[in-house]
C-alpha cells in the first residue's frame, strides 16, 4: 500500500459541506491557531476506518508523504498509522525484544522529525500519548549507552519540544503525559505542567489543566500538592480543567485562591 493509494482512498470520501464545518471548528481562519489548515471533510471515524484497512500493509517509509500532505485528514491518517505500528511492537511480549525496540525508536524518530505537521490539537491529542507518552515508559536504544530506559535522554527530548517555540510541539510535550500518568509515572506531568504554566495560549492552558486532571485521577493528593504550590498563579481555565472531577465544595475553595 503506497501513500498515493491511501491519499486516493481518503480523497474519494471528500465532503465539501462537512469540510466547511471542520474548517470553522478547527479555527482555520486568518490569525487563528489553525490558520491555513485544509480539510477534505472526513470525520475521524472515517479516517480510522481507512487506517484499519491499510496500516498493516503500509511500509513505514510511505508515512512521511502522508505527514507532509496539505490535507488534515491525510496527516491524521499518517499519524494513526504510526500509532498502529507502535502499539504492535509495544505489547508486553515485545517490550524487551531488540527488533521491537529498534522499530519503536524508528517510529519515535519519525514522529519527532515531522512533529510540526501535527499542526492542530486533534492531531497531537490522538497521537502524542500513544507514541511519545508510551515510549517514555519503555526501553530504548536512543540516547546512547545501549538499550535501557535512559530517562535523562527522554527528558532532553521533551524539554526540546517544550522549549521549541512551536505551539504544537509544546502541546506534544504536555499531552504525551496522559499515558505516563495512567501508568503511575506522575513526575512527567508535574514537570511539563510547571514548564507550561505561564504559556500565553489558551490551548496550552487547557492542555495543562487536562493533564493535571488526569494526574489527579491516578493520585488526587499529588494533584493537591501541585495546586498548593501553583493554584494562585495558574490561568483560571487551567485551574478549572484541573479540578473538574473534585467535589463542588473543593472546587470552590481552589477557585478562591
Are the C-beta atoms of 50 and 40 separated by less than 8 Å?
no
3-state percent breakdown (helix, strand, coil) of the chain, nearest 5? 70, 0, 30
Are the C-beta atoms of 168 and 124 separated by less than 8 Å?
yes
For residue 185, the model assigns a pLDDT of: 97
Is residue 232 a part of any domain in this protein?
A: no
- Grade residue 3 by pLDDT with cuts at 50, 70 and 90: very high
Question: Which residues pair with residue 71 across a beta bridge?
Answer: 38
The pLDDT tens digits of the residues spanning 99-133 come to 999 999 999 999 999 999 999 999 999 999 999 99
Is residue 207 a part of any domain in this protein?
A: no
For residue 55, the model assigns a pLDDT of: 96
Is residue 113 a part of any domain in this protein?
A: yes
Helix (H) or strand (E) holding 241: helix 236-242
Is residue 236 a part of any domain in this protein?
A: no
Question: Which residues pair with residue 148 across a beta bridge?
Answer: 140
The contacts of residue 181 (CB under 8 Å, 6+ apart) are 188, 189, 211, 214, 215, 217, 218
Q: Is the pLDDT of residue 145 over 90?
A: no
Question: Which residues pair with residue 38 across a beta bridge?
Answer: 71
Is residue 73 a part of any domain in this protein?
A: yes
Find the domain containing 78 and state its range.
3-182
For residue 149, the model assigns a pLDDT of: 87
C-alpha dihedral, 192 to 164 to 175 to 239, nearest 10°: 50
The pLDDT tens digits of the residues spanning 184-234 come to 999 999 999 999 999 999 999 999 999 999 999 999 999 999 999 999 999
Share of the chain above pLDDT 70, in %: 100
Is residue 44 a part of any domain in this protein?
A: yes
Domain count along the chain? 1
- The number of C-alpha atoms within 13 Å of 182 and in the hemisphere containing its C-beta is 12
The pLDDT tens digits of the residues spanning 11-59 come to 999 999 999 999 999 999 998 999 999 999 999 999 999 999 999 999 9
Is residue 146 a part of any domain in this protein?
A: yes
d(CA 62, CA 205): 35
The pLDDT tens digits of the residues spanning 74-89 come to 999 999 999 999 999 9
Is residue 100 a part of any domain in this protein?
A: yes
For residue 104, the model assigns a pLDDT of: 98
- Grade residue 257 by pLDDT with cuts at 50, 70 and 90: confident
What are the Cα distances from residue 161, in Å, to 73, 129, 248? 24, 14, 35
Amino acid at each position: 500500500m503506497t501513500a498515493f493509494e491511501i491519499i486516493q482512498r481518503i480523497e474519494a470520501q471528500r465532503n465539501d459541506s462537512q469540510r466547511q464545518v471542520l474548517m470553522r471548528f478547527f479555527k482555520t481562519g486568518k490569525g487563528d491557531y489553525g490558520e491555513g489548515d485544509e480539510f477534505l471533510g472526513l470525520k475521524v471515524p472515517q479516517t480510522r476506518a481507512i487506517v484499519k484497512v491499510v496500516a498493516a500493509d503500509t511500509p513505514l517509509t510511505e508515512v512521511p508523504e502522508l505527514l507532509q500532505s496539505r490535507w488534515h485528514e491525510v496527516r491524521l491518517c499518517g499519524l494513526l498509522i504510526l500509532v498502529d505500528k507502535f502499539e504492535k511492537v509495544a505489547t508486553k511480549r515485545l517490550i524487551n525484544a531488540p527488533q521491537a525496540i529498534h522499530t519503536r525508536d524508528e517510529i519515535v524518530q519519525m514522529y519527532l522529525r515531522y512533529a510540526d505537521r501535527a499542526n492542530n490539537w486533534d492531531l497531537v491529542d490522538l497521537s502524542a500519548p500513544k507514541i511519545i507518552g508510551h515510549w517514555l515508559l519503555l526501553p530504548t536504544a536512543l540516547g546512547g549507552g545501549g538499550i535501557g530506559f535512559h530517562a535523562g535522554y527522554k527528558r532532553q527530548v521533551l524539554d526540546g519540544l517544550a522549549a521549541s517555540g512551536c505551539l504544537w510541539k509544546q502541546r506534544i510535550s504536555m499531552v504525551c503525559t496522559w499515558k505516563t500518568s495512567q501508568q503511575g509515572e506522575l513526575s512527567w506531568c508535574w514537570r511539563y505542567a510547571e514548564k507550561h504554566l505561564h504559556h500565553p495560549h489558551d490551548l496550552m492552558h487547557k492542555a495543562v489543566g487536562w493533564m493535571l486532571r488526569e494526574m489527579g485521577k491516578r493520585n488526587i493528593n499529588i494533584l493537591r500538592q501541585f495546586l498548593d504550590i501553583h493554584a494562585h498563579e495558574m490561568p483560571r481555565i487551567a485551574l478549572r480543567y484541573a479540578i473538574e472531577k473534585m467535589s463542588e465544595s473543593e472546587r470552590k475553595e481552589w477557585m478562591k485562591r
